């Protein structure tokens, strides 16, 4: 399976060296994303979603110590030099973020910025051809009148249109993997749906593997083929989207599902307590300080993912708890 994966991550660990000590942000994440698939990544704030993928992209600061493996094709990204990482970022893996305005240059025309992205990885191409390709890309991501819009500046675009520009830049070189980190969080519901549609179309038409990081389980339900749930820098449950929503065996996932407003429940029950301090994550299962089912054995070894019913679950009591569904 992993040989065909667009992105293959094994035992990824990220530790930030800070004045207060070592922040263990990511503590052994493994995953594969296949071409044309959408992998949803969910979990509370601080669970290590962004840091995992920023590490893969080589976009963390110097205080980050990264261990493990992350491969795109045969290229290992962990420990790779800047030149390799730049090449991979341009050609194989692209990332889009929540706030497109901060990523766009305010003093350059939008079309020129997309064209620059095209030129950066097609050295022989003429400027005219790159400009034409930029207009095509703006068209692909659904920007109306792309020729005129290409001559405008970022501040003349709405939030949704800016996010489309970012996607155009991200797909300029037909990447194998598109990592979208909360791409629609800042947008209203209608625009959010349109952006998700663009991402879905790219995956279908270009066969791009998509990693979709989001707080919003509604977005995951709509877009993802598979989902992985993160807690305290680890993957605690993983399954196809239907199984995760209907047959989760992990108390944390069940808590997340119960706390989501988008699933149409009238009364929400937030998970009690707060995420752990990653300077000193709890031993054993990191969720045990908040888990209603915690037992003495939960303080033992860190639970690994094992197949329980239809999901892979990292909970030592999952077999017993399945009866509680």
Ligand X SMILES: Nc1ncnc2c1ncn2[C@@H]1O[C@H](COP(=O)(O)OP(=O)(O)OP(=O)(O)O)[C@@H](O)[C@H]1O
Residues near ligand SF4, by CB under 6 A: 251-252, 285, 287-288, 291, 293-294, 298, 303, 315-317
Closest contact distance (angstroms) between CB of 55 and Mg ion is 12
Helix, strand, coil abundance in the chain, percent, nearest 5: 40, 25, 40
Q: Is 111 in the site for ligand X (CB under 6 A)?
A: no
Task: With H, G, I as helix, E, B as strand and everything else as coil, classify residue 79.
Answer: coil
**Residue 48 binding: pick among ligand X, Mg ion, ligand SF4, none (C-beta 5-8 Å cut-off by kind):** ligand X
Angle at 127 between CA 166 and CA 57, to 5 degrees: 35
Contact between 115 and 130 under an 8 Å Cβ cutoff? The reply is: yes
**Closer by beta carbon to Mg ion, 50 or else 313:** 50
Between 212 and 231, how does the x/- string for binding to ligand X read (CB under 6 A)? ---x----------------
175: contact with ligand X by CB under 6 A: no
Q: Which residue from 3, 61, 62, 124 is in contact with ligand X, where contact means CB under 6 A? A: 61
Interface with Mg ion by CB under 5 A: which range of 46-54, 74-82, 111-119, 221-229?
46-54
Smallest distance, ligand X to C-beta of residue 16, A: 3
**CB-nearer residue toward ligand SF4: 116 or 322:** 322
The residue ranges of DSSP E strands in 215-275, in sequence order, are 226-231, 234-240
When asked if residue 214 is in the footprint of Mg ion (CB under 5 A), the reply is no
Q: Which is nearer to ligand X, 46 or 160 (CB)?
A: 46
Q: Please name the residue ranges forming H helices in 37-109.
A: 49-57, 82-91, 100-103
Pick what 45 binds: Mg ion, ligand X, ligand SF4, none; C-beta below 5 to 8 Å, kind-dependent. Answer: ligand X
Nearest CB to ligand X, comparing residues 13 and 49: 49
Piece of the chain touching ligand X by CB under 6 A; list 5-13, 48-56, 143-151, 263-271: 48-56
The b-or-e profile of 292-310 (16+ CB within 10 A means b, else e) is eebeeebeeebbebeebee
First to last CA, the chain: 31
| CB neighbours of residue 61 within 10 Å | 8
Among the residues of 171-231, which ranges form H helices? 189-206, 217-223
Within 249-278, the residues that bind ligand X by CB under 6 A are: 278
Stated length of the chain: 325
Which residues between 3 and 32 bind ligand X (CB under 6 A)? 16, 18, 23, 25
Structure token pair of residue 253: 């996932």
- What is the spatial distance between Cα 214 and Cα 26, in angstroms, rounded to a whole number? 17
Does 50 sit near Mg ion (CB under 5 A)? yes
Q: Which of 9, 31, 38, 51 binds ligand X (CB under 6 A)?
A: 51
By CB under 5 A, residue 184 contacts Mg ion: no
By CB under 6 A, how many residues form the interface with ligand X? 15
Q: Does 126 bind ligand X (CB under 6 A)?
A: no
48's CB contacts (< 8 A; 6+ apart) are 14, 25, 26, 27, 29, 230, 232, 233, 234
Applying CB under 6 A, the residues found at the interface with ligand X are: 16, 18, 23, 25, 43, 45-51, 61, 215, 278
């Amino acid at each position: 399976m992993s040989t065909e994966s667009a992105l293959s991550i094994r035992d990824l660990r990220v530790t930030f060296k800070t004045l207060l000590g070592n922040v263990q942000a990511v503590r052994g994440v493994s995953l594969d994303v296949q071409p044309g698939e959408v992998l949803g990544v969910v979990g509370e704030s601080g669970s290590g979603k962004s840091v995992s993928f920023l590490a893969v992209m080589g976009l963390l600061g110097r205080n980050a110590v990264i261990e493990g493996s992350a491969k795109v094709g045969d290229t290992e990204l962990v420990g790779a030099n800047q030149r390799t990482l730049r090449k991979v970022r341009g050609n194989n893996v692209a990332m889009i973020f929540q706030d497109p305005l901060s990523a766009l240059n305010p003093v350059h025309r939008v079309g020129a910025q997309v064209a620059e992205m095209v030129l950066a990885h097609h050295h022989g191409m003429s400027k005219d051809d790159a400009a034409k390709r930029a207009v095509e890309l703006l068209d692909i991501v659904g920007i109306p009148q792309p020729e005129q819009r290409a001559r405008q500046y970022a501040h003349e675009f709405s939030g949704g249109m800016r996010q489309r520009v970012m996607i155009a830049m991200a797909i300029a070189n037909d990447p194998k993997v598109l990592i979208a980190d909360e791409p629609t969080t800042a947008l209203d519901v209608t625009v959010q749906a349109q952006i998700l549609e663009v991402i879905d179309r790219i995956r279908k038409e270009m066969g791009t593997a998509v990693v979709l990081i989001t707080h919003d389980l509604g977005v995951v339900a709509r877009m993802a083929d598979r989902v992985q749930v993160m807690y305290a820098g680890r993957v605690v449950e993983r399954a196809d989207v239907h199984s995760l929503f209907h047959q989760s065996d992990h108390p944390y996932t069940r808590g997340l599902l119960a706390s989501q407003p988008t699933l149409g429940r009238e009364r929400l029950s937030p998970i009690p307590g707060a995420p752990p301090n990653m300077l000193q994550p709890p031993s054993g299962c990191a969720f045990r300080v908040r888990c209603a089912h915690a037992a003495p054995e939960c303080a033992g070894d860190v639970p690994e993912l094992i197949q329980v019913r239809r999901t892979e679950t990292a909970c030592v009591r999952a077999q017993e708890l399945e009866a509680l569904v």
